Amino acid sequence: MSKLVQILDRFNRKERFCLLSDALIDPADELTKAVDTIGRPFRPLNQRFRSNLKDALELKSEIPEGSWWAFDYHLDWLFAALEIAHKCSQVEELDRKFVAPPRRQQPRDRSKVYSNDGRFKFNIEDCDLIVAYDDNIILVEAKVGFWDNSQLQSKLVGRLGRIDRNNLHYVLASPKPPVNVITDGWPKWAVTEVADGKPTWAANKDEGTKVPFWIELNKPQAADGWLKVSRCDEDGEIGETYRTHWCVTRATA
């Protein structure tokens, strides 16, 4: 269990992760006897998913079954964990050297206060899935519909692009390849170049074109097709500007 993974775990307090852990994991259940790198019962990422990540990211070694993972991991948490892991020689000294005292406690300790260089936004901007083992971090961004270039640029150019480390990876997951994603300004660890027909999903692009790492996301199918709520007027005319009425329509993504 690496120092980095232990520090990442200290920030993971998302309600969704707590709820899923409580709903899916029963220490008495034979299906959940696996333990993560922190030593707790959990459901590991399945072999198919781990293999898809390995192949898509062109990793040389397998992703361990007991890799730590979390949902909706805030980018602020990631930056703080990486900063502390860099400065902290042993995880046992984390609380003593890096955790500030309660708000009303005096005197204040300025050695535990850090200047914000612009990375920290103090908001809920996050990554859908984070996987960590040893000193490796894989960030997975998932989308069932269409990719939002402004959102990706905000994360990868405005924030994650400030991180310079060889064992950080970023991969998109969607039912269809991200054909219209703009990678201008993305960090080098978040893109791959089209070469010799690889990656196969981007083989029709020019050699040397920088494209995202991508894995196919298996989307469960509703029995008779997915539905969505749409805005409309009183006659049922659908439009983004309408707000007084709604109707149910078929979803294409």
pLDDT digits (tens, 9 = 90+) for 152-197: 999 999 899 999 888 999 999 999 999 889 999 999 999 999 998 8
Q: Tell me the domain boundaries of the chain.
A: 3-219, 222-253
Lowest mean pLDDT among 80-84, 114-118, 123-127, 238-242: 114-118
Q: Tell whether the model's pLDDT for residue 82 goes beyond 70.
A: yes
3-state secondary structure (DSSP) of residue 44? coil
Please tell me the distance from the alpha carbon of residue 202 to that of residue 129, in angstroms, as a whole number.
24
- Give yes or no for residue 233 having a pLDDT over 90: yes
* Reported pTM: 0.86
Sheet containing 210-216, strands listed edge to edge, beginning at the edge strand earlier in sequence: 68-74, 126-133, 136-142, 168-174, 210-216, 191-193
* Distance, C-alpha 22 to centroid of its chain: 21
Could you tell me the pLDDT band of residue 35, with boundaries at 50, 70 and 90? low
* Sign of the C-alpha dihedral computed for residues 120, 124, 128 and 134 taken in this order: positive
Which position has the token pair 């260089």?
117
Is 31's pLDDT higher than 60?
Answer: no
**pLDDT higher than threshold 70 for residue 38:** no
Indicate whether 33 pLDDT > 60. no
Residues 133, 136, 141: CA angle, nearest 5 degrees: 100
Q: 210 to each of 25, 149, 163, 181, how far by Cα in Å?
A: 40, 15, 19, 10
* Phi, psi values for residue 232, rounded to 5°: -155, 170
> Roughly how many angstroms between the first and final C-alpha of the chain, as a whole number?
39
Q: What backbone torsions phi and psi does residue 249 show, to the nearest 5 degrees?
A: -130, 170
